[in-house]
């Protein structure tokens, strides 16, 4: 992982206009992310996690500050920042292959031949172990398989940064664990930069190089950042017993508990 700044969030803030007046969701959020780093953002409901991700994705304008990727200012959505949402957002009338091919055609239609695009779709489906289901419709596959297709679609765009908004939140525990392992394998293989929103402490510790902890809203900001000192590659069972895992888990739980007490006060 490079130590050079790849993604920069510079003192950004976001205020929404509501029927009852202005609502300040984020205040002075400042963060630098290195190329190849896996960063999780965690915090209580209403702390602006998804708002932050939407700003980074270019889906939501910021009120002040700036966000940049490799020195280029982010002013809207772009294929260099692919998003995987909790809701897979697959088009039901297209096959698994067709959903990924749609993204590939959009990004590479002018630069790659149809054969190259076909091979690239199949390669990315194979990466998430969905090659055998390429011609099935979304209604014919499980929720976990749909999320695999969503990840394949995002990776097929060859993004510089993969953005994940609680991608496993709606899945059962076993499927969630399987997809977490798949994401770790993909990250190890591709060395891509990942920013993931999560509410799951163990998920954040297992997957991340750093965990960004958000204060409560309104006017949420970064409260603490914890470096996860676990070597890669990581095996789930061995990692869960490592002192560094337990230390990181304890630090995040303590932070969240303190925020809960503040909310109750």
pLDDT digits (tens, 9 = 90+) for 49-63: 999 999 999 999 999
Is 188 among the domain residues? no
Query: Whole-angstrom Cα distance, residue 201 to residue 160?
Result: 26
- Tell me the DSSP string of 134-185: TT--GGGS-HHHHHHHHHHHHHHT--SEEEEESTTTTS-HHHHHHHHHHHHH
Looking at the chain, the whole-number percentage of residues with pLDDT higher than 90 is: 88
Residue 31 domain-assigned (yes or no): yes
Q: What's CA 101's distance to the chain center, in Å?
A: 21
Confidence band of 71 (pLDDT split at 50, 70, 90): very high
Structure tokens that stand for 182 in this block? 């798949």
Q: Whole-model pTM?
A: 0.93
Place of tokens 């950042």: 225
- What local confidence, expressed as pLDDT, does residue 259 receive? 87
Tokens of 258: 């303190």
| Domain membership flag for residue 92 | no
Per the prediction, the chain carries an average pLDDT of 93
Domain annotation covers residue 241: yes
Q: Please tell me whether residue 19 adopts helix, strand or coil conformation.
A: coil
The reply to whether 34 falls in a domain is yes
Reported as a single tens digit per residue, the pLDDT across 26-41 is 999 999 999 999 999 9
Strand boundaries in 60-156, DSSP class E: 64-69, 72-73, 81-85
Cis peptide bond N-terminal to 218, omega within 30:
yes
Within a domain: 1: yes
Structure-token pair, residue 116: 């190259």
Task: Answer yes or no: is 189 within a domain.
Answer: no
Q: How confident is the model at residue 2 (pLDDT cuts 50, 70, 90)?
A: low
Instruction: Supply the range of the domain harboring residue 61.
Output: 1-75+208-265
Domains of the chain: total: 1
Write the DSSP symbol of residue 87.
S
Residues 243, 81 contacting (CB under 8 angstroms) = no
Higher local confidence (pLDDT), 262 or 250: 250
CATH value at residue 50:
3.40.50
Average pLDDT over every residue of 220-229: 97
Question: Does the residue 174 lie in any domain?
Answer: no
The per-residue pLDDT for range 74-86, each reduced to its tens digit, is: 999 999 999 998 8
Q: How far, in Å, CA of 211 to CA of 204, rounded?
A: 7
List the strands of the sheet with 64-69, edge to edge.
21-34, 5-18, 64-69, 72-73
């Amino acid at each position: 992982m490079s130590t050079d700044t790849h993604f920069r969030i510079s003192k950004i803030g976001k205020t929404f206009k509501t029927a009852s007046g202005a609502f300040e969701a984020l205040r002075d959020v400042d963060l630098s992310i290195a190329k190849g780093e896996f960063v999780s953002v965690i915090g209580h409901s209403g702390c602006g996690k998804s708002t932050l991700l939407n700003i980074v994705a270019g889906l939501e304008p910021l009120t002040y500050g700036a966000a940049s990727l490799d020195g280029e200012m982010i002013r809207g959505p772009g294929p260099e920042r692919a998003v995987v949402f909790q809701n897979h957002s697959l088009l039901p009338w297209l096959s698994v292959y067709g959903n990924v091919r749609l993204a590939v055609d959009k990004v590479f239609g002018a630069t790659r031949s149809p054969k190259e695009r076909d091979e690239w779709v199949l390669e990315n489906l194979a990466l998430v172990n969905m090659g055998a289901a390429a011609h099935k419709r979304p209604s014919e596959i499980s929720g976990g398989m749909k999320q695999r297709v969503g990840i394949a679609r995002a990776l097929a765009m060859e993004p510089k940064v993969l953005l994940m908004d609680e991608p496993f939140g709606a899945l059962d525990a076993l499927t969630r664990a399987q997809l977490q392992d798949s994401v770790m394998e993909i990250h190890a293989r591709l060395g891509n930069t990942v920013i993931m929103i999560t509410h799951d402490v163990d998920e954040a510790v297992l997957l991340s190089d750093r965990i960004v902890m958000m204060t409560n809203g309104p006017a949420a900001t970064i409260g603490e950042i914890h470096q996860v000192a676990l070597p890669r590659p990581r095996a789930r069972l061995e990692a869960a017993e490592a002192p560094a895992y337990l230390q990181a888990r304890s630090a995040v739980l303590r932070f969240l508990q303190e925020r809960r007490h503040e909310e109750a006060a």
